[in-house]
Structure 1
Amino acid sequence: MATLRDRLDHVLGTKAADQLGESFDMTTVEDLLRHYPVRYATQGQPLAEEAPEEGAHITVIGTVSKTELKPMRQRRGRLLRVDLDTGAGKPIEITFFNGDKVNYLVKQGVRAMMSGTVHYWRPDRWNLSHPSYLILPAAGESVENLTDVRGGGALRGLAESAKGTEGVDVSFFEREYIPVYPATAKVQSWDVLACVRQVLDQLDPIDDPLPADLRAERGLLAVSDALRLIHLPERKSDIEEARERLRFDEALALQLVLAERRHEMGGRTARACPPRTDGIAADFEHRLPFELTAGQRKVIGEISDDLSRPHPMHRLLQGEVGSGKTIVALHAMLQVVDAGRQCALLAPTEVLAAQHYRSLRGMLGELGAGGELGAAEHATKVVLVTGSMSAKEKKAALLDAMTGEAGIVIGTHALIQDNVEFHDLGMVIVDEQHRFGVEQRDALRAKSKNGISPHLLVMTATPIPRTIAMTTLGDLETSTLTELPRGRSPISTRVVPAKQHPTWVDRAWERIREEVAAGRQAYVVCSRIGDGEEEGAKGKGHKGKSPEEKEAPTTHAAVDVYETLRAGALAGLRVGLLHGRLPADEKDQVMRAFNAGEVDVLVCTTVVEVGVDVPNATVMVIVDADRFGVSQLHQLRGRVGRGEHPGLCLLITESSAMGTAMARLEAVAGTLDGFELSILDLRQRREGDVLGSAQSGTARSLRLLSLLDDLEVITAAQDVARDVVAADPGLTRHPGLATMMNAAVDSERLEYLAKS
């Protein structure tokens, strides 16, 4: 017999256990049983009358009604085209690329199971390309065991894994649902299934970690039943009920971690920074040349209340591009400065750090000229610390931070180095928080002295859906700015399909010339610098071709586009180049020249994605726009339309008109709602990527929970977790819940969460 904690080598043997450990980092029976199927092969899966989605994986059983060998156009060999009659209308078209090796098995009249991915060649034509297959007994033929396994790919492997001394148990293939697992080249899905079946045959009864009253209240299966049915369901309802239970376990495990962290954070102390009516914050607000929006005032009030308490603030400030987050953050910093303490603003790039420095100095005026002639009565000093500063400049800035002369210290990762000390750090602001590792944020917070925690404000212009925030950001309170300040101009976005309409590309460059002639400026953004290195773009590839005709996508490098444009379409204009591998002083010089209007067109990479504010820039052309993610495109276009003139963003792409990349670009062009786009972005990416950027690999613990779709589950789990932890900190009276939590989120991930 076996328990969840038993080692796999004791249950399966060394060879199988070593392969699972190497491929999936599995060591225990529980690791294996929580390696859930990604889908289920179904017998004779009926197809809806409308066509399946591109990329959908379907499994069908039918009779081969027609075969045809055809030479491939761009490589040697022949394709085998197969029509599979499933008895559900029009036959399904199947394509095998190794036609000469397959046609002796896949012949007219044979009955077969085939499992593959749907590919569209044209809007009205799809097929299964190179599926796995298994030749089955003819319909109605009485065969208990197959002694001769004939087929290819995953289905053949599955049959081989089920083969006993008397052949393959055909009854297993007559199951309504056959699990299909995440696999590797060394460990295929059928290998995992064989191990799972072996373990389930030996598994002891499991002590359920959830109290019986909670299971009854939510109508949840016992965990032992859920773990069996998720792997070997008899009915569709078995799958749904098993997933419901295991999904709740995942949500509860994470929420227990976060509830414990919230409880622990409640015991930390911070220096209260109550607002003053006669300090620099009040002076700043009186001098503002514009009126704050109602949303900005509300958020300023929320942050002010947090700063007034003797416990560290943990707040997320999110808002649309251009919604005025910087002015809100500055108001918070000035409240802390009024209390006699310092603020550190951490930015992800030197370009953004320098932009913040210039922006804050400009907004503060004489209030930011502390220590200088002409400074206002309540003035503070603002300093910049970056890795590329001269030794003399850096030494002076560090001295101002250490003595407390500087109330606001702005910098990149250089701020977290050991030689950076603060006199009395009262608040840390992290801009674009998703770009920093947890250790980096923790190292800066640790610079506060005497065990006193600084207040923490993290900012992002990438809107985060509520469920993501609840799960990845733990106990951060969330403030959201949704309205744009008065005076912000609208931005229109258009897709430029370069292959279908090449003259539209020429028109894009003409639009830039027209804007420059009117006294305005433009950006041209590229996905890479020039030697094959990507700089922030998320490659998507091209779709829409038949599988044998696909080829690697080509992209345009910033240095090449720069040379081409200034010698051709934009000849005579002042064209500049900016990318991440330029020396820091050169980057700063280019950005200053663009700010000052001395550069008409800035050819750049994604170094301008966040924080760059040039009100005179009105048009942006994004080359190879399909190489960028949805949120990235939304961020980039927020660099235009920041002044009195409307903004225009042109998305140039060579993608197929019917491909998913084009659909994604059209969605970006169709709305300026960042929250709507963030949800679209997350649906197109693995949610684990989102988690990984926030807490280092927690994706491993979320196999079934959807952070976008399972709000009710997450909310319920959060309520349960907070009630349990409030009554039993440390879970000493709930050992089952503690075990479940630690199984889902290991000690390394717990440490990351505790720091985040």
Structure 2
Amino acid sequence: MPEADRKETSAANKPKSAPQKAMEKLGLLRDIDLALHLPMRYEDETRITPIAEARSHEGEAVQCEGEVLECRIETRGRRVLLVKISDESGAELLLRFIHFYPSHQKTMAVGARIRVRGELRHGFFGREMVHPTFKAVVEGAALATALTPVYPASNGLPQAYLRRAIASGLSRADLGELLPAGVVPPTLPALRDALNFLHHPPPQARLSTLEDHSHPAWQRLKFEELLAQQISQMQAQRERALLKAPALMAKRGGLHEQLLAVLPFGLTGAQQRVSEEIAQELALPQPMHRLLQGDVGSGKTVVAALAAAVAIDAGWQCALMAPTEILAEQHFKKLVGWLEPLGLKVAWLTGSVKGKARQKMLDAAADGSAQLVIGTHAVIEDKVKFARLGLAIIDEQHRFGVAQRLALRKKLAAMDLEPHLLMMSATPIPRTLAMTYFADLAVSTIDELPPGRTPIVTKVFADSKRFNVIEKIRDEVVNKAAQVYWVCPLIEESETLDLNNATETHAELSAALDGYVVGLLHGRMTPADKAAVMAEFTAGRISVLVATTVIEVGVDVPNASLMVIEHAERFGLSQLHQLRGRVGRGAVASVCVLLYTGPLSDTGKSRLKAMAETNDGFEIARRDLDIRGPGEFMGARQSGAELLRFADLQEDSVLLQAARRLAPQLLDKHPQAARRQVERWLGAKAEFLKA
């Protein structure tokens, strides 16, 4: 074996260090990855402040230097290392270490000169710092010439190691300008200059513009990223326009009209409008890629059923996929009730369907006799074959990973066709996000609730009022024959969290409501047991249902008029809104009680305040976006990577508009530059935007 090959093989087989593994976990694999891993804050190590003049406001650090006068361990309940230093001003500074090692004492021995940095406070013994950073220096040792970056890291990845790796990657990375002249706004710096500045800002740089990302260097990165994202979206849109899909025409007097005739209710104006939008797009020979959004209880399921009727009437199959078995079963029961009387065959496919029953369903999907297949993620398994899949409907689309959505689209690959795709969400998406994350996606919105729905009153109580809430439950059950949900955030998942789990709450309510049935529903139960409990609750034989968030979506019990959400501060805003939507589904006045345990964080206060002030899902979504930011709101984590790392869709709307205007020009006139722009900034994430 040649010497060079032997060295390469040896390097490949060498075990990776903990920092190397941690860097891989953070996705820091290429030089460009390192160059784009930006500091989350900076430390100013460019100046020494005399101890006598040292001041620091809360959260701010100051750097001092001096000679160690005293280094001793004090034991008062616990061991504390106390180090006293003094500088040329004659002033003294006490350093206090609660966690320390023998090496600390060695470095800070009496007579040593050390440089320390930390938050200064005035304690009982004068000026002091608790757990400052420190290092031994010689008198006159050089100071840093730029602000010191502090990077997002993880366990096993020291800042010093990460700084060296990033500096090395930054020097090697290909940061040449990819965009033609005139594309980048003239007020923004070159990309390499922007990155060098952000990694090593000079001492005179205004920290405020770095931390709020308003500095021109930050603006350059945001512009580049938004442009790559818009190019990718537009490219996906153009590629989809070249794809072929079955043209599904609604027939006069066909299943679509027959279903409308047998429904026990009339459609709202909004339902009629979105049904027509969907039917018009299904009739085209290009694949529909549409998001159907509407608030909790707005009637998305019947719109989906009407779309399925169009597809089936045209001679094609339809698949409907839901994230949980409870929700899938809810759909199954509704759609069977509506469609089977019209002569349609509906198949049921989830993980709990086993053996011969499962094989029967698989055969029915494969030979086309099952015109509609409803289920969970089991629908997209490789073993599931469709004879002619024309329409795929995904409910609560944000609960599925991107790879799962892509897999469903590939079910027609053998026919060189794509199924039409209808995604549904009860988490309304603000317009800016829909236009950006779903630039290639048509959006239909049901912005009207069916008549007869009573507004839900939301009340917020501290956990100290728990007894009063239980009394209110007793009144609802005994005097009004109503039904109640009590939702708990955990079920025996963590001993470290001081939470009442569902089991304890079930026992507490059972004792308080002697003579009435209190049910229990949680994620560890078998699907059959869950279904049995839900059936009892739906039939009215269970008065109070204690549950974890397995009842978050899809459950429809009109007689349930009271919802109690325990530890409401631990739920996200959209999740709280989804849970609240389980009541108020009939004509009975309904109440949602949010029980919280203090002290509340600012985020917790904002969530509970929003819930108390509005029932409007679109307003809830807007506030949720303000609280969480676009990455988390869109469920980007489910795709394994946040799609936008630097830009903020609300704050950077001017840059977004520029990127949206420039993207088609680059694709048309400079396709190579457009492709390289997407590769640099999105890499493999570009695939996610196509889902």
What TM-score, normalized by structure 2, do the two folds share? Answer: 0.81
Q: Deviations over 1:505-546 (max 9, x none)?
A: 11211222222231211111112223549xxxxxxxxxxxxx
% identical equivalent positions:
39
8 Å CA contact 1:558, 1:605 repeated in 2:
yes
**547, 553, 568: which one aligns with 1:610:** 553
8 Å CA contact 2:250, 2:279 repeated in 1:
yes
C-alpha displacement of 1:134? 5.7
Take 1:691 and 1:81, find their aligned partners in 2: how far apart are those partners? 50
1:526 equivalent to 2:488? Answer: yes
Take 1:658 and 1:81, find their aligned partners in 2: how far apart are those partners? 36
**For structure 1, which runs of at least 5 residues remain unmatched after alignment?**
1-8, 45-50, 83-93, 119-127, 137-145, 149-166, 370-374, 534-551
Cα distance 1:24–1:579, how it changes in 2: closer, same or farther (>3 A)?
closer
Take 1:252 and 1:77, find their aligned partners in 2: how far apart are those partners? 56
Residue 78 of structure 2 is matched in structure 1 by 76
Residue 539 of structure 1 is matched in structure 2 by none
Cα distance 1:199–1:284, how it changes in 2: closer, same or farther (>3 A)?
closer
**330, 334, 340: which one aligns with 2:315:** 340
| SS in structure 2 at match of 1:284 | helix
1:652 equivalent to 2:595? Answer: yes
1:257 equivalent to 2:232? Answer: yes
Take 1:634 and 1:261, find their aligned partners in 2: how far apart are those partners? 33
8 Å CA contact 1:345, 1:409 repeated in 2:
yes
8 Å CA contact 1:679, 1:708 repeated in 2:
no
8 Å CA contact 1:497, 1:653 repeated in 2:
yes
Q: Deviations over 1:238-276 (max 9, x none)?
A: 871000001111112222222222221111111111223
C-alpha displacement of 1:280? 1.7
Q: Write the mapping of 1:128-527 to structure 2, written as runs, cut at 5 A.
A: 132-133=132-133, 147=138, 168-170=141-143, 172=145, 177-196=147-166, 206-215=175-184, 217=185, 219-234=187-202, 235-236=205-206, 240-362=215-337, 364=338, 368-369=339-340, 375-376=341-342, 379-389=343-353, 391-448=355-412, 449-473=414-438, 475-498=440-463, 501=464, 504-517=465-478, 518-527=480-489
C-alpha displacement of 1:385? 1.9
| SS in structure 2 at match of 1:266 | helix
Q: Write the mapping of 1:578-597 to structure 2, written as runs, cut at 5 A.
A: 578-597=521-540
C-alpha displacement of 1:355? 0.7
Residue 554 of structure 1 is matched in structure 2 by 498
Take 2:467 and 2:523, find their aligned partners in 1: how far apart are those partners? 28
8 Å CA contact 2:398, 2:635 repeated in 1:
no
Residue 32 of structure 1 is matched in structure 2 by 34
Q: Report the AA paired with residue 183 of structure 2.
A: L
Residue 574 of structure 1 is matched in structure 2 by 517
1:745 equivalent to 2:682? Answer: yes
Take 1:77 and 1:512, find their aligned partners in 2: how far apart are those partners? 52
C-alpha displacement of 1:432? 0.9
C-alpha displacement of 1:341? 1.7
8 Å CA contact 2:118, 2:129 repeated in 1:
no
8 Å CA contact 2:80, 2:96 repeated in 1:
no
- Of 461-470 and 188-197, deviating more is 188-197
C-alpha displacement of 1:40? 2.8
Take 1:17 and 1:412, find their aligned partners in 2: how far apart are those partners? 39
Q: Report the AA paired with residue 37 of structure 1.
A: P
C-alpha displacement of 1:226? 1.1
8 Å CA contact 1:319, 1:461 repeated in 2:
yes
Cα distance 1:493–1:81, how it changes in 2: closer, same or farther (>3 A)?
farther
8 Å CA contact 1:623, 1:652 repeated in 2:
yes
Cα distance 1:97–1:493, how it changes in 2: closer, same or farther (>3 A)?
farther
Cα distance 1:670–1:193, how it changes in 2: closer, same or farther (>3 A)?
same
Take 2:415 and 2:426, find their aligned partners in 1: how far apart are those partners? 33
Q: Report the AA paired with residue 248 of structure 1.
A: F
| SS in structure 2 at match of 1:410 | strand
Take 1:302 and 1:170, find their aligned partners in 2: how far apart are those partners? 66
Take 1:445 and 1:100, find their aligned partners in 2: how far apart are those partners? 58
C-alpha displacement of 1:195? 5.0
Q: Report the AA paired with residue 627 of structure 1.
A: R
| SS in structure 2 at match of 1:170 | coil
Q: Report the AA paired with residue 410 of structure 2.
A: A
Residue 164 of structure 1 is matched in structure 2 by none
8 Å CA contact 1:562, 1:577 repeated in 2:
yes
Take 2:375 and 2:17, find their aligned partners in 1: how far apart are those partners? 52
Take 2:239 and 2:543, find their aligned partners in 1: how far apart are those partners? 53
Q: Report the AA paired with residue 476 of structure 1.
A: L
Q: Deviations over 1:210-232 (max 9, x none)?
A: 222112x4632211221222222
Q: Report the AA paired with residue 272 of structure 2.
A: R
| SS in structure 1 at match of 2:334 | helix
Q: Report the AA paired with residue 416 of structure 1.
A: I
Take 2:80 and 2:19, find their aligned partners in 1: how far apart are those partners? 40
| SS in structure 1 at match of 2:553 | coil
Take 1:15 and 1:100, find their aligned partners in 2: how far apart are those partners? 23
| SS in structure 2 at match of 1:640 | coil
Take 1:392 and 1:16, find their aligned partners in 2: how far apart are those partners? 49
Cα distance 1:21–1:521, how it changes in 2: closer, same or farther (>3 A)?
closer
8 Å CA contact 2:116, 2:134 repeated in 1:
yes
Q: Report the AA paired with residue 261 of structure 1.
A: A
8 Å CA contact 1:615, 1:640 repeated in 2:
yes
Take 2:555 and 2:75, find their aligned partners in 1: how far apart are those partners? 50
What TM-score, normalized by structure 1, do the two folds share? Answer: 0.74
**698, 706, 714: which one aligns with 2:648:** 706
Residue 159 of structure 1 is matched in structure 2 by none
Take 1:402 and 1:697, find their aligned partners in 2: how far apart are those partners? 32
Cα distance 1:24–1:582, how it changes in 2: closer, same or farther (>3 A)?
closer
8 Å CA contact 1:467, 1:714 repeated in 2:
no
C-alpha displacement of 1:25? 4.1
Take 1:327 and 1:524, find their aligned partners in 2: how far apart are those partners? 28
1:625 equivalent to 2:568? Answer: yes
Take 2:589 and 2:129, find their aligned partners in 1: how far apart are those partners? 47
C-alpha displacement of 1:450? 1.0
Take 1:476 and 1:280, find their aligned partners in 2: how far apart are those partners? 27
Q: Deviations over 1:87-122 (max 9, x none)?
A: xxxxxxx997559999999xxxx999755699xxxx
8 Å CA contact 1:427, 1:456 repeated in 2:
yes
Q: Deviations over 1:38-61 (max 9, x none)?
A: 1233589xxxxxx98xxxx54456
C-alpha displacement of 1:425? 1.3
Take 2:129 and 2:396, find their aligned partners in 1: how far apart are those partners? 42
Q: Report the AA paired with residue 182 of structure 2.
A: D
| SS in structure 2 at match of 1:212 | coil
Residue 614 of structure 2 is matched in structure 1 by 671
Q: Report the AA paired with residue 724 of structure 1.
A: L
**Once superposed, what is the RMSD of the aligned Cα atoms?**
4.0
Q: Report the AA paired with residue 683 of structure 2.
A: D
8 Å CA contact 1:617, 1:641 repeated in 2:
yes
| SS in structure 2 at match of 1:226 | helix
Cα distance 1:111–1:711, how it changes in 2: closer, same or farther (>3 A)?
farther
Q: Report the AA paired with residue 244 of structure 1.
A: Q
Q: Deviations over 1:343-377 (max 9, x none)?
A: 11001111111111112234x2xxx22xxxxx44x
C-alpha displacement of 1:473? 3.9
Take 1:668 and 1:600, find their aligned partners in 2: how far apart are those partners? 25
